Chain A
Amino acid sequence: MTTEAAIAVRDLTVAYHRRPVLWDVSSNFPAGHLIGIIGPNGAGKSTLIKAIMGLVPVASGEVRILGDTLKRQRHLLGYVPQRSSVDWDFPTNALDVVLMGRYGKFPLFRRPGKKDRAIAMECLEKLGMSSYADRQISQLSGGQQQRVFLARALAQDAEVYLMDEPFAGVDAATEQAIIVLLRELREKGKTVIVVHHDLQTAADYFDWVALLNLRIIACGPIDQTFTAENLRATYGGRLNLLTAIGEELSK
């Protein structure tokens, strides 16, 4: 089971205005694991999961999800964007946002029904948010907003979850709720890929990590990958060369 790749990335290069932000990334993310994508700011962590989800144009390379193309397997992916990527002053409540997780299940112009509302409510419940279902989303705290986003992905009932910095700027209670949920998902055999930048907690949270800084530095089980040497290569000096070449290319 663990040998099958939930997501296989081969020779992936992504560029913004011709400046590469991911260089020739190849790695396999095995199914059934709790995987951290770790790297410094600007390392291309978010870009990598956006590229996997088809949200940014890919210059070259290939992504396969559970053995097939994104187009065919999109319904198996659940995405949790960064909390700051949306305007929370939107006229809607927490339950409605979670319900959006069900929207992909219907053909165009069809509405979600009672059953979907029940599912959405269940997902809120799992994150300890059921008493906030009717709350206008701008009145939720940052941690609560993050939990609503997780509940929305949960409502998709996906096989592979991709989360962009779910632990960024949340309170202790939310952090705990999230980590419990992630472990529960792994128990159920789901794959969870989390963009994370805090080295302190990474070793506790994940059993598999990909160290990333414009390119993959190491990818594998945490006890083999999370070495001082690899971390130095990820966070330390000598990468400036790639950045400099990137600058040149963008000119």
Chain B
Amino acid sequence: MMLWANTNLHFVLVGTTLFGFSAGVLGCFAFLRKRSLIGDALAHAALPGVCIAYLLTGTKVQGVLILGALGSGLIASYILNAIVRHSRIKEDAAIGLVLSVFFGIGIMLLTHIQHLPMGNQSGLDKFLFGQAASLIGKDLYLFGGLAAAVITVTFLAYKEFKVIAFDPGYAETIGIPVRRMDVLLTLLIVTVVTAGLQAVGVVLMAAMLITPAAAARQWTNQLWRMLLLAGIFGAVAGSAGAIASAVAPRMPTGPWIVMAITAIFVVSIVFAPQRGILARVLRQFRNATRIQQENVLKTLYRLMEDAPQSTPTVDMVRRYRHLSIRRTLHLLKRLQRMGFVSEGTRPEEWLLTADGRTRAEALVRRHRLWEVYLTQYLQLGKGHVHADAEEIEHVLTPELEQELEALLGYPVQDPHARPIPYSRDGGPK
């Protein structure tokens, strides 16, 4: 491929991948500590630092500019802390204040630089939205070093960061220096943010800290896996940005990187096995089907209770539950496969099997027990208890049912004077 001939792309690719990985890992702790937006503030705050470093030294040497960014980032985080500690302004408002004032100063300085002779060649505007293609080999050593340092420190301080993110108060009581570790975390964030300035730019930096963490959380319930996944997601997004930048060199890279990581995020939100939207919809759907099946069982029981001589038909069940014939038949067939119902002697007739009767009795028992409970303990009129019991009967666990039975003293009738069916081994003792 043509692109591989471009040796600079190799540098850029390695650089952005390293940056993406370390941003993803670090972002997890900020995310879990509920401090995601700190990264945003620190990134915006880097801009005036970069400009001042350029104005003072007149060079574009990466190391110098990064020192400037580091400096103003740290000042911003110090001010942020001071506002929260010494006034009644809350952290979210303080972040907004600090972010906008630093960014405002940054833009003023940037405009000033661009009006200087030679200033428009400074290329500082690339720090706004990122231009990965402007990275060169020399920069790579710097970024590589920064990324490696971030990953090493995170690895070493894993246990401290973990307990602080989960329960900072407790962490303090077991003697972990919470405040110093928070400073360390802020330092690491500032470092990774400045490392990524050229690739992503200050404006969109927050996405590289927050989005990989949010996406990774979807897939796992273990912290170390989340860190690893977030790192990989960040790396993928970073390299996608590098490639986009090589294909369209005049485009800023930041937006591409953000698009890539957002795509990963959307996939995670929708398709993740347990926490994903799709999984949830499926669970709800299965649950709804289960409830409908249980309702059909219960209806057969009720129909036979009211008219013990006749056999219930599909049409009777359908009318009782307000279901379509197709749906009713479908549910009955499923119940038949599970061994709870069988077809009667004449067409359209359905009967409960012994297993089905036990299941239906359990449901009816829970329903009626709950009705008794509501009328006795919540003093509800008996006209108001049916609808509630319709829901509760599907969620009551056997343990709760036993507790309810004991509490009510094994009543024989529900408030509507219908008998409460007890199983042979259960019932009053």
Binding site for B on A (CB under 8 A): 17, 50, 53-55, 74-75, 77, 79, 81, 85-87, 90-93, 96-97, 100-101, 103-104, 106, 108-112, 136, 152, 156
Q: Which residues of chain A have C-beta atoms less than 8 A from B171's C-beta?
A: 103
List the A side residues contacting B170 at CB < 8 Å.
79, 81, 100, 152
- Interface check B6, CB cutoff 8 A: no
B166 touches A85 (CB 8 A): no
CB of B159 within 8 Å of the partner chain: yes
Using A93-B221, A136-B221 as known contacts, say yes or no to A86 and B176 having CB atoms under 8 A apart.
Answer: no
Q: Give the CA-CA distance A101 to B222 in the complex, in Å.
A: 18
A91, B169: Cβ atoms closer than 8 Å = no
B220 and A103 contact, CB distance less than 8 A: no
B163 at the interface (CB under 8 A from A): yes
Task: Say which residue of A54, A79, A100 sits within 8 Å of B166 (CB atoms).
Answer: A100
Decide yes or no whether B160 CB sits under 8 A from chain A. Answer: yes
Name B's A-contacting residues (CB within 8 A): 32, 34, 88, 156-160, 162-163, 165-167, 169-177, 217, 220-223, 225-226
Most buried by A among B169, B173, B220: B173
Does A91 contact B167, Cβ atoms closer than 8 Å? no
- A91-B222, A91-B226, A93-B221 given; A86·B167 CB < 8 A: yes
* B169 touching A81, Cβ below 8 Å: yes
Q: Is the CB of B160 within 8 A of A108?
A: yes
Q: Report whether A91 and B157 are in contact in the complex, using a CB–CB cutoff of 8 Å.
A: no
CB-CB < 8 A to A112: which residues of B? 159
CB distance B176 to A104 under 8 Å? yes
Known: A55-B173, A103-B176. A111 touches B159 (CB 8 A): yes
- Among residues of B, the one whose C-beta sits closest to the C-beta of A79 is B173
B172 and A100 within 8 A (CB): no
Known A-B contacts A74-B175, A104-B175; the reply to A55 vs B220 at CB < 8 A is: no
* Inter-chain contacts of A136 with B (CB < 8 A): 221
Q: How far is the CB of B157 from chain A (nearest CB, A)?
A: 6
With CB as the reference atom, state the residue of chain A lying closest to B274: A136
Rounded to whole angstroms, the CA-CA distance of A97 and B167 in the bound complex is 10
CB pair A92 B166 closer than 8 Å: yes
In the assembly, what is the distance between CA of A160 and CA of B196, in Å?
48
CA distance A74 to B162 in the complex (A): 20
Which residues on the B side are within 8 Å of A101 (C-beta)?
Answer: 174
| Chain B residues closer than 8 Å to A104, beta-carbon distance | 174-176
Once bound together, how far apart are the Cα atoms of A188 and B170, in whole Å? 24
| Measured CA separation A18–B156 after assembly (Å) | 40
> Would B172 and A81 count as touching, CB distance under 8 A?
no
With A55-B169, A85-B167 as given contacts, are A91 and B174 in contact (CB-CB < 8 Å)? no
Report B91 CB to chain A, min CB distance, Å.
Answer: 16
Known A-B contacts: A55-B172, A90-B165, A152-B170. Give 16 more (CB < 8 A).
A50-B169, A74-B174, A77-B173, A79-B173, A81-B167, A85-B169, A86-B166, A87-B34, A87-B166, A90-B32, A91-B222, A92-B221, A93-B221, A100-B174, A103-B160, A109-B160
Evaluate contact between B166 and A90: CB separation under 8 angstroms: yes
- Expressed in whole angstroms, the Cα–Cα distance for A211 and B176 within the complex equals 32
Cα–Cα, bound, A55→B168 (Å) = 10
B173 partner, pick from A53, A106, A111, beta carbons under 8 A:
A53
| Residue numbers in A under 8 Å from B32 (CB-CB) | 90-91
- Report chain A residues within 8 Å CB of B223: 90-92, 96
Chain A residues within 8 Å of B34, by CB? 87
> How distant is the Cα of A197 from the Cα of B170 in the complex, in angstroms?
22
What chain B residues lie within 8 Å of A53 (beta carbons)? 172-173
Separation of A157 and B36 alpha carbons in the complex (Å)? 35
A17 touches B175 (CB 8 A): no
Q: List 18 A-B contacts (CB under 8 A).
A: A17-B88, A54-B172, A55-B169, A74-B175, A79-B169, A79-B170, A90-B166, A100-B167, A100-B174, A103-B159, A103-B160, A108-B157, A108-B160, A108-B177, A109-B159, A110-B159, A111-B158, A152-B170
